[in-house]
Amino acid sequence: MPRATRILLAIMVCCVQPMYTQHAAAENQPVQLRVGIYNNSPKVFLDADGNPAGFFIDLLEYAADREGWTLTYHPAPFAELLDRLADGEIDVLPDVAYAESRATQIVFSSVNVIDDWLQVFSTSESGLATAADLDGRRIAVLASSRQQEYMQHHFPRLYDIEYELQVYRDYAATQSSLLDGRVDALVASRFFHLSPERDPLVVPTSIFFAPSLNLYGFRPGIPEEIPTALDAHISSLQNTADSWYYQSLQRWIDRPEVVWPRTLLWLLGTFAGIAAILSLLIPLLRRRLASTAHDYIEIFNSTSDAILIHDEDTWEVLDMNAAARELFGLGSREAFKGIDAHSAVSEGFTAERGQQHLLHARRTGFHQFEWRIRRVDGQVSWAEISLKRVIINNQHRILALIHDISGRKSDETRVKRSLLEKEILLKELYHRTKNNMQIICGLLHLQASDFPDSRLQQAFHDAENRILAMAMVHEKLYASDDLTHINTDEYLSELVQHVRSSMESAQPVTLDLQIERIPVTVETAIPLGLVLNELLTNSLKHAFPGTHNRGRIHIQLQRDPEVPEQIRFEYSDNGIGVPDTDALEQSLSLGLYLIRSLITEQLNGRLRFISEQGLHCSADIIL
């Protein structure tokens, strides 16, 4: 190789190597994540030393160690952190319950971290046992939380009760309000029972509901590989026995107490003491476990909603509570006979459709829908079913919460029937009003023929046109599906054609209509139609005498672009105009009096007249 060529290659290598090194450094730059943290022990909180701790923090730091992420923590109340996450000021927020309203603002992880539901907490003397007991009570919830959304929008509709909801910035404030007597109960995650912040006087009740997905929230625009990597780590841990997931779960949720001997000298004595204690504790623990199991069974059977537990592979019903047996009309030992046997198959609610809902719940973790159920005695009723994928005894199951909504459906049917009857009556009223106005016009026409005076006949004719302008509104409403509004373009265009055809003018007149389609009420349509009738009648009668050039009338109606709740009406002709607009505005003629009173009094508008190369009238009308 020539020496010059070798030198040139060496120079190129020296130039390219720094560029490659910089690119590689950029590729290997560690990911820095800003993590929001708030007090919701044992899932996420700051410990006594101010360090981040909790089940969700353990899993996030596990993934960060293996992915090379750098985590910085930013403590604040939950509501503030949720807003900061949506604004991109932080990157990750642990322990965020899934809600459709939140999914439009932030990005959720896909793998459910831990099963959760909402539970009512109160004092031991509260006497709260069922959802109906919350009627008329004062209830505290955490600001911007899932319990606030559920208690505001879903719970009252499901149980048809009323209560006062009070919102606080953190769990400590909700608990203080309960202990101070400002509220009667608080709604929180089921894990609040395990929180060290819970006062012993605050106890869980048997009222629980709304199973939810507990996920990580990410800011909009987060690189997709970050939540994907976190989901992969969590899924792998959940499917590996004795993994960090279950170790952390035992650490924070179960919290077993471990007694360690302090010195070797006490070793034998310690073992002997432990053996003695265990000999005393084992019977107590057995009784306690039996009591706990009995308590869970009591809670399971005391809830007012029906509960079924399905095998997620065979769909077989493994267990059901007392409310479910009552709902389906089953005896205490009678088994669930299958989806077909307990559904309105003749109405299309078949086992195949039911299994599709179960598959959807198994795939997504949660699914809610309405269903027609059939009792053993053949009675059919409506129910709202919430399906939740849960783990029971290390087995995946489908938990079905069934709420009877027959009363709500009956109310909806009754309201729809009542509305339909009112619509029919209102249509009939519009139809009769229009017919009566046409009869009045016919009577005026007959009466006018008895008078030879042309001015008197013209007055009768003008009155007919005014009445027909109002009758056309009722005709439009009768023919419309919307019984409260009519469209301005159809109504005013037909009114213009009617007035023009009713006027005998020797001069041809060109009409230029620019009318926007705006739905208006009867209170706006009738005065607007009368104003247009008066202006158009005046132009056709007086603006274009026999010697005048070809006439042109321009009519425009549109929304004000600067004030959307206001419309602008403009009318102009190129006729002979009027000599004095001030005198025109003060005129006592019936037509001009109607225009002024209709615009300024009935439509609350501003009226302006200009006479330049014809007559120009404009008005701003508030809808």
Tens digits of per-residue pLDDT, 158-171?
Answer: 888 899 999 998 88
Q: In the structure encoding, which two tokens stand for residue 180, read together?
A: 């101070």
| pLDDT at position 327 | 81
Do the domain assignments include residue 279? Answer: yes
Which residue type occupies 165?
Answer: L
- Alpha carbon dihedral 600, 605, 609, 610, in 10-degree steps, equals 170
pLDDT at 89 over 90: yes
Place 597 in a pLDDT band, splitting at 50, 70 and 90.
confident
pLDDT at 432 over 80: no
Place 63 in a pLDDT band, splitting at 50, 70 and 90.
very high
- Crossing angle for the helix pair 225-238 and 55-67, nearest 10 degrees? 120
What's the N-to-C CA distance of the chain in angstroms?
89
| Residue 495 and residue 400 in one domain | no
State which residues form the domain around 564: 489-623
Do the domain assignments include residue 255? Answer: no
| Residue 451 and residue 399 in one domain | no
| Residue 307 and residue 280 in one domain | no
Q: How many distinct structural domains can be found in the chain?
A: 6
Task: Average the pLDDT over 495-505 and give the result.
Answer: 78
- Provide the 3-class DSSP secondary structure of residue 398: strand
| CB-based contact 365:211 (threshold 8 Å) | no
Q: How far apart are CA 162 and CA 139, in angstroms?
A: 11
pLDDT at 405 over 60: yes
Q: Omega before 42 cis (within 30°)?
A: yes
Quick one: what percent of the chain has pLDDT higher than 90? 24
Q: What is the CATH number of the domain that holds 561?
A: 3.30.565.10
Q: What is the CATH number of the domain that holds 336?
A: 3.30.450.20
SS3 content of the chain, % helix, strand, coil (to 5): 50, 25, 30
Tens digits of per-residue pLDDT, 287-305?
Answer: 766 666 566 666 777 777 8
| Residue 329 and residue 398 in one domain | yes
Task: Average the pLDDT over 124-134 and give the result.
Answer: 88
| Residue 352 and residue 367 in one domain | yes
Do the domain assignments include residue 153? Answer: yes
| Residue 416 and residue 380 in one domain | no
Question: Comparing 295 with 563, which gets the higher pLDDT?
Answer: 563
Q: What is the CATH number of the domain that holds 204?
A: 3.40.190.10
Between the alpha carbon of residue 246 and those of residues 57, 64, 290, 467, the distances in Å are 14, 18, 24, 82
Do the domain assignments include residue 462? Answer: yes
| pLDDT at position 224 | 93
- Provide the 3-class DSSP secondary structure of residue 441: helix
| pLDDT at position 308 | 85
Do the domain assignments include residue 235? Answer: no
Query: Up-side HSE of residue 192: CA atoms within 13 Å toward CB?
Result: 27
pLDDT at 547 over 60: no
Last residue of a domain, one of 277, 300, 323: 300
Place 179 in a pLDDT band, splitting at 50, 70 and 90.
very high
Last residue of a domain, one of 213, 247, 276: 213
Do the domain assignments include residue 154? Answer: yes
Between the alpha carbon of residue 126 and those of residues 105, 122, 212, 394, the distances in Å are 38, 6, 26, 35
Do the domain assignments include residue 526? Answer: yes
Of the candidates 567, 574, 583, the one whose C-alpha atom is nearest the C-alpha of residue 618 is 567
- Range with the poorest average pLDDT among 181-195, 504-518, 576-590: 576-590
Question: Comparing 523 with 513, which gets the higher pLDDT?
Answer: 513
| Residue 397 and residue 466 in one domain | no
| Residue 437 and residue 400 in one domain | no
| Residue 544 and residue 577 in one domain | yes
| Residue 435 and residue 466 in one domain | yes
Do the domain assignments include residue 55? Answer: no
Last residue of a domain, one of 253, 283, 300: 300
What letter would DSSP give residue 264? G
Looking at 261-343, which runs of residues are DSSP E strands? 306-311, 317-320
- Crossing angle for the helix pair 522-538 and 590-597, nearest 10 degrees? 150
| Residue 280 and residue 336 in one domain | no
| Residue 393 and residue 444 in one domain | no
Which residue type occupies 276?
Answer: A
